[in-house]
Chains A and B, each alone.
Chain A
Amino acid sequence: MTRLSMNRRKLLTTAALSGAALATPAYLRRAHAQSGGEVNIWTYNDFVPEAFREQFQDETGIKINVRLVDDQGKQFSLLAAEAPNPTVDIMTVAGHRFLQFIDSDLLAPLDTDRLSNWGNINPTFSESDWATIQGHKWGAPILSGMEVLAYNSDIVSAEEAQTWDTLFSETYAKQTAYIIQDMMSIIMLKMGYDGNMVEYLDNPERAAAIVEEAKNFLIEHKPLVRKYYDGGAEFQQMMVNQDIVLGHSWNGPAAALINDGFPLGMTIPREGSYGFVYTFNIANNAPNMDNAYTFLNAILASPEVGAAMTKASGFISTYKGASEYLTDLEKKSTSFPEEQLANLQFFRAEANEMKYGLVDPAVEAIKAA
């Protein structure tokens, strides 16, 4: 009988604990997110400098919870799955992906009157065409980047790196890497087409034919590539391990390697490339809206913070005067010659629905081929 009594206790305790454990995640998710002392951020690695994070937490008592993301599409899917009650307050959306998030009611319009430091952003970014949609601002520009051809300068010459063709040459077979989705736009540009697909908005058949041509090009050259990758850290690792000697990259991870002393060079090849701007955005129905504005205003407060973001991420700061806080090497790794910048154009969002409707299946086809 004593044994039975012990079993009952254990049984009841186990049942109670199991019930509590099963109920906890759902309860915690909202309760945790709604408490007044924190702000939840989805962002890329190093976009919130550690020193700023500690200082902000000390001064405001607001805890910063960062969840790292490495892809705009994944971020969209995560947020869409949580809508209309997201757990996140601030996300990091690239300017050319705004429309998709706005059309799905995932972003809240930014009330710039609540951001006394809004004026610290270079107007080239804060007041540009893409920054205002439906009469509202939707994000605070923080860093700008571009798609570059990065190369190990001990092995590949600067001359060779002036063209995307080198990435697909037999000389460097199995020593290259790229992000397929980004390369689709670049290949379209290299072939003389509009990689933003805005020109073909009224001609979907033409758009489909161009995507097919770019897809076939990448499938044909698939035997030459070592790795399709997804995130900047992967690119850095492959370069350091000498698994690759050149590849398509975002300028941020490449600049970070240069700043660390790795023999790396990067160019905007003569066929052209695309630039983009990362922005901090507030989620629609964010659980900690006030804290989100406090965070945004704080991170925009000083060009030193902008410089710290550049130092950590390698991307170019959008803050006025941030470059004054960079070393000569950091300035060099975040700037390009005028003749190369002339080849750069920014990603545009107008044709995104059509573009990604065609490009995403093409990417899967290339991977599967």
Chain B
Amino acid sequence: MTFPASAREERGATAARDRTFWGKLSGWAPYGAALRVATASPRRQFLILAICPVIWVLTQHLGPMVQMLRVSLTDAYPVAPGTPQHFTIEHYLAFFHDPLFWQPFFRTLSFAGVFTFCTLVLTYPVAYFLARHVRPKNRMLLLLLLLIPFWVGEIVRTYAIMILLGNTGAVNLVLKWIGLIDRPIPFMYTSFSMGVGIVYLTALYMLLPLYSALEKLPASLNEAAADLGAGAWTRFRRVTLPLTLEGISSGCTLVFLISTGFYATPVLLGGPSTTVFAETIAGFFHVAGDQWPTGAAFAIIMFLAALLVTAAFQKLMSSLRKGDSK
């Protein structure tokens, strides 16, 4: 009796598999039984597949935030071992009772809003050019070129900005060389240098959603508008912009949320009048004492405020999209 070649190959593969760890494990009865129980229904298969991402989200994302929330509700932390801790909301009340903290808080929100708008204005033309005017085969190459600065860390890129904007930096040297200035312009340690740094660091988070939205936009819509007599500005205002609102919404949300949490960049590039709330929060963790709960409470307040602003922005964008679709 002879077997067809495919059957022989399958039997050979099975035998080879049996010699491997996984082959032996597959043949082990308790393993087989456990597997049958675990994958008996689609619901169970879903649970098994979901367990890793759920563990990841719980331990890496929610875990630290829950811990921060817990610390914010204690009267002191860190404390010597054996010292009793009590729950309190006094650290939250401290924010509302002391106007001292309001200025960096609102400054952070307004900076984040302004920098988000600047990032949108600066990156939209880049995304538009990339999605509408670059040949498809060259797009990946250009995207990779745009991504190059993001291969290095935030601190290195921040120092690059310092090298550019310092009194002896490239920008001042060029301005001096072409005769526009006699003395260096003090760009550094101002809201300008901080803004340049934050826009530079967050540009990618705006660019990619915008590019994605613009790439999906059929060229025929603009062509039809042009056929009907719409000029370039009208086509952009009435066709392109409304149909890329989703990308704008995603990009702005990402950039705004990231901007509210920046710490190192404002510390390195900012000056005495640009103190942001992250620096105030860090101050409570850095001083030698048990002030962590105040810092934690302030961090939670900033988190909630940023979420509220984002929710309001999303609501606005959603209503704009609905208005345009009518």
Residue numbers of A with Cβ under 8 A of B are 4-5, 8-9, 11, 14-15, 18, 22, 71-77, 80-81, 83-84, 97, 100, 104-105, 174, 222, 225-228, 230, 237, 241-243, 356, 360, 363-365, 367-369
Size of the chain B interface, CB-CB below 8 angstroms? 43
B96 on the interface (CB 8 Å rule)? no
Please, could you name 20 A-B residue pairs with CB atoms under 8 Å apart, sorted by A? A4-B39, A5-B26, A11-B52, A14-B52, A22-B55, A22-B59, A71-B286, A76-B288, A80-B78, A83-B78, A97-B288, A227-B271, A241-B188, A242-B166, A242-B167, A360-B291, A364-B280, A365-B100, A367-B280, A368-B100
Check A243–B166 contact: CB distance below 8 A. yes
B218 on the interface (CB 8 Å rule)? no
A interface, by DSSP: helix, strand, loop or mixed?
helix
> What per-residue 1/0 map shows which CB atoms of B76-110 lie under 8 Å from chain A?
00101100000000000000000011011000000
Check B275–A367 contact: CB distance below 8 A. yes
B279 on the interface (CB 8 Å rule)? yes
How far, in whole Å, are A83 and B81 apart by their CA atoms in the complex?
7
B contact residues around A241 at 8 Å (CB): 162, 166-169, 188
B136 on the interface (CB 8 Å rule)? no
How far, in whole Å, are A74 and B35 apart by their CA atoms in the complex?
50
Check A368–B285 contact: CB distance below 8 A. no
A contact residues around B186 at 8 Å (CB): 174, 226, 243
Find the A residue at minimum CB distance from B104: A368
A contact residues around B267 at 8 Å (CB): 230
B184 on the interface (CB 8 Å rule)? yes
Find the A residue at minimum CB distance from B268: A234
How far does the Cβ of B75 sit from chain A's closest Cβ, in whole Å?
Answer: 15
How far does the Cβ of B222 sit from chain A's closest Cβ, in whole Å?
Answer: 44
Check B169–A364 contact: CB distance below 8 A. no
Answer whether A243 and B188 are a contact pair too, CB < 8 Å, given A77-B292, A225-B272, A368-B101.
yes
A contact residues around B78 at 8 Å (CB): 77, 80-81, 83
Residue numbers of B with Cβ under 8 A of A are 22, 26, 35, 39, 48-49, 51-52, 55-56, 59, 78, 80-81, 100-101, 103-104, 162, 166-169, 184, 186, 188-189, 267, 271-273, 275, 279-280, 283, 285-292
B contact residues around A71 at 8 Å (CB): 286
Answer whether A77 and B275 are a contact pair too, CB < 8 Å, given A18-B55, A22-B59.
no
A contact residues around B272 at 8 Å (CB): 222, 225-228, 367
How far, in whole Å, are A71 and B292 apart by their CA atoms in the complex?
16
Find the A residue at minimum CB distance from B59: A22
B289 in complex: contacting residue of A22, A75, A222, A360, CB < 8 Å: A360
B contact residues around A75 at 8 Å (CB): 288
Check A369–B103 contact: CB distance below 8 A. yes
Answer whether A222 and B286 are a contact pair too, CB < 8 Å, given A83-B80, A104-B80, A369-B103.
no
B contact residues around A363 at 8 Å (CB): 283
A contact residues around B283 at 8 Å (CB): 360, 363-364, 367
How far, in whole Å, are A298 and B81 apart by their CA atoms in the complex?
33
How far, in whole Å, are A356 and B162 apart by their CA atoms in the complex?
33
How far does the Cβ of A131 sit from chain B's closest Cβ, in whole Å?
Answer: 20
B contact residues around A73 at 8 Å (CB): 286-289
Find the B residue at minimum CB distance from A245: B167
Check B288–A356 contact: CB distance below 8 A. yes
B contact residues around A76 at 8 Å (CB): 288-289
B contact residues around A84 at 8 Å (CB): 81
B56 in complex: contacting residue of A11, A18, A80, CB < 8 Å: A18
Check A368–B22 contact: CB distance below 8 A. no
A contact residues around B279 at 8 Å (CB): 367
How far, in whole Å, are A314 and B22 apart by their CA atoms in the complex?
61
How far, in whole Å, are A241 and B103 apart by their CA atoms in the complex?
31
How far, in whole Å, are A118 and B280 apart by their CA atoms in the complex?
42
| Additional 14 contacts, C-beta under 8 A, given A225-B272, A241-B188 | A4-B39, A8-B35, A18-B52, A73-B288, A74-B285, A77-B289, A80-B290, A174-B186, A222-B273, A227-B271, A237-B162, A243-B189, A367-B272, A367-B275
A contact residues around B166 at 8 Å (CB): 241-243
How far does the Cβ of A37 sit from chain B's closest Cβ, in whole Å?
Answer: 28
How far, in whole Å, are A83 and B79 apart by their CA atoms in the complex?
9
How far, in whole Å, are A22 and B52 apart by their CA atoms in the complex?
11
B contact residues around A237 at 8 Å (CB): 162
Check A11–B80 contact: CB distance below 8 A. no
Check B167–A11 contact: CB distance below 8 A. no
How far, in whole Å, are A174 and B78 apart by their CA atoms in the complex?
38
- The winner among B39, B168, B283 for most chain A CB atoms within 10 A is B283
B contact residues around A367 at 8 Å (CB): 104, 272, 275, 279-280, 283
Check A360–B287 contact: CB distance below 8 A. yes
A contact residues around B103 at 8 Å (CB): 368-369
How far, in whole Å, are A104 and B267 apart by their CA atoms in the complex?
30
A contact residues around B81 at 8 Å (CB): 83-84
B contact residues around A360 at 8 Å (CB): 283, 287, 289, 291
Check A9–B100 contact: CB distance below 8 A. no
Answer whether A15 and B286 are a contact pair too, CB < 8 Å, given A5-B26, A243-B167, A365-B100.
no
Answer whether A72 and B275 are a contact pair too, CB < 8 Å, given A243-B186, A368-B101.
no
Find the B residue at minimum CB distance from A75: B288
How far, in whole Å, are A181 and B78 apart by their CA atoms in the complex?
22
Find the A residue at minimum CB distance from B167: A242
How far, in whole Å, are A227 and B268 apart by their CA atoms in the complex?
10
Check B22–A9 contact: CB distance below 8 A. yes
Find the A residue at minimum CB distance from B102: A368
How far does the Cβ of A212 sit from chain B's closest Cβ, in whole Å?
Answer: 13
B contact residues around A97 at 8 Å (CB): 288
Check B287–A242 contact: CB distance below 8 A. no
